[in-house]
């Protein structure tokens, strides 16, 4: 399903399609990072890496959430004039 969505987004002329693709890739990358850290053996290093990984993921979620409004304003949507 993700491959279908990526194919649709890359073939359309929506200015925010690249932003959506970037957001999806960051989300998948963040999920993979968390899963990889969770696979480490228990210990202090795992706790530190897990905290740092979650901090980075939350940071990117906040940055993307705060920037989505600017991206949405660039979309050519008829606002019911």
Rounded to two decimals, what is the model's pTM? 0.58
Better pLDDT: 26 or 57: 57
Quote the crossing angle between the two packed helices 2-11 and 17-38, to the nearest 10°: 150
Contact 18, 6 (CB under 8 A): no
pLDDT higher than 60, residue 11: no
Sign of CA dihedral 37, 42, 43, 47: positive
pLDDT higher than 50, residue 34: yes
Q: What spatial distance separates the first Cα and last Cα of the chain, rounded to whole Å?
A: 36
């Amino acid at each position: 399903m993700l491959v279908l969505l990526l194919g649709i987004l890359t073939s359309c002329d929506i200015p925010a399609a690249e932003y959506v693709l970037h957001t999806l890739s960051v989300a998948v990358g963040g999920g993979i990072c968390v899963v990889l850290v969770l696979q480490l053996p228990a210990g202090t290093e795992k706790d530190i890496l897990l905290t740092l990984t979650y901090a980075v993921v939350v940071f990117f979620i906040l940055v993307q959430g705060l920037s989505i409004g600017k991206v949405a304003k660039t979309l050519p949507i008829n606002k019911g004039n």
